[in-house]
Amino acid sequence: MPLKNDFYKKNIIKALYYSGALSCTELSMSIGRSYTLVVKTLDALLIDGMVIEKGYAESSGGRPSMTYSLPAESFYTVAVAMDQFVTRIGIYNALRQEIGGIQKLELLLDHHGHALEVLTDVIQMAITATPVAKEKIVGIGIAMPGFINAQKGANYTFLGEGIAEFIQKQTGLPVFIENDSTAIGLAEYHFGKAQKKKNVMVVNLSWGIGLGMLIDGHIFRGANGFAGEFSHIPIFKNGKLCSCGKTGCLETETSLLFMIRKAVQEINDGRPSLLDATVLTGEDYEGKSQHFLEAARRGDSLTVEIISDVAYNIGRGIAILIHLFNPETIVLSGRCSSCDSLWPPPIKRALNEFCIPRLLTTTLEVSELTHNAALIGASILVIDQMNEQAVQKLLDRDLNVTEPSKA
């Protein structure tokens, strides 16, 4: 097929990925091409097996329209969500359904000299263990913390330059990396609380405090891709050293690490709590985070108090964002957003205290994607970068292959 035709096929595939099921008219509006061109391209995709008829749309009068969607098995993405301590890997089909379970790996990025090699091996094992033909995998998306140059596939904070190139060489698959908070912003924009909104700040509540920025309907990365370092706004005169080497950053009194350390200190001082200090001081980072957040959801007074104090301080930082960007919405997402009812009240209290009243038109939302947002965002990285050549490779393969790959 000529690449020009593949260009239109690619755009229709992307539109269906993000919207689910669409009619010809809706697809024409979505990709900005004529109805006739969309019909011809859909006919080719139906023959190729890359699109299926989903059924007739509901009609308020007149002839109902046929809608189209992607077959679940038409292609797959490998999604890798990393933070400083825990890496999760999932494989998703074209309907964004996870296949074969999420693999978790404790990988301390600051203290592991061979982290890139270990990560690559685990990705390859995840691909091999999944009953999906490798030929149907269109790429690997990696959402990770740090100063990232997505175009160069480099992370200047963790793992260094050439990350994408190294993993691509070992796996034989296209690899795309992005800052985890930016990837979470993409997930919220396409499938979460930022849908159909143009100016949104997505706050990633995790081991640090990240920020995904949507301005005029586009992810804002800044001149070098480093925009959104919300954690490092200097707010406090507390003398506490931040991971960035400065003192008084927002992160020093708002991160999940801070909250866990605060809880241990209070328990050691005799404060009663549902929390177990031995769990919180252990080496299982996934376990200690789940233990802390579950105590919060159960209403443990110490945990709730700590989150309340932290949320108030995050609200002080959000007040700065509101004054600078005047966003429609602030979305609280990421690992800690699962304690959904605990965050808004103290944040709103801080906003009332620190924001100019006329700017308090910004709404505050808590993500429904929560901890899955980073994995969803990692998959989106692959879809966003899907090109005509990738579509042609899919069309050249036997789409009925279901044998496990032999990576």
- Domains present along the chain, CATH in parentheses: 3-69 (1.10.10.10), 76-183+373-385 (3.30.420.40), 196-368 (3.30.420.40)
Low-confidence ranges of the chain (pLDDT < 70): 1-4, 59-62, 112, 397-407
pLDDT digits (tens, 9 = 90+) for 45-62: 999 889 999 888 776 666
The beta strands (E) that lie in 121-216 are given as 137-144, 148-149, 154-155, 175-179, 200-205, 209-215
Q: 3-state SS of the chain: helix, strand, coil percent to 5? A: 45, 20, 35
Alpha carbons within 13 A on the beta-carbon side of 229: 16
DSSP assignment of 129-143: HSSS-GGGEEEEEEE
* pLDDT at residue 353, rounded to an integer: 97
* pLDDT at residue 397, rounded to an integer: 64
Residue 172 and residue 323: Cα distance in Å, rounded? 46
- Tell which residue, 51, 56, 39, 46, has the closest CA to residue 13: 51
Neighbours of 231 (CB within 10 A): 24
Query: Is the CB of residue 30 less than 8 Å from the CB of residue 13?
Result: no
What is the value of pTM for the model shown? 0.91
* pLDDT at residue 55, rounded to an integer: 86
Neighbours of 228 (CB within 10 A): 22
* pLDDT at residue 113, rounded to an integer: 74
* pLDDT at residue 386, rounded to an integer: 86
pLDDT digits (tens, 9 = 90+) for 370-392: 899 999 999 999 999 988 777 77
Residue 70 and residue 54: Cα distance in Å, rounded? 9
Residue 190 and residue 376: Cα distance in Å, rounded? 10
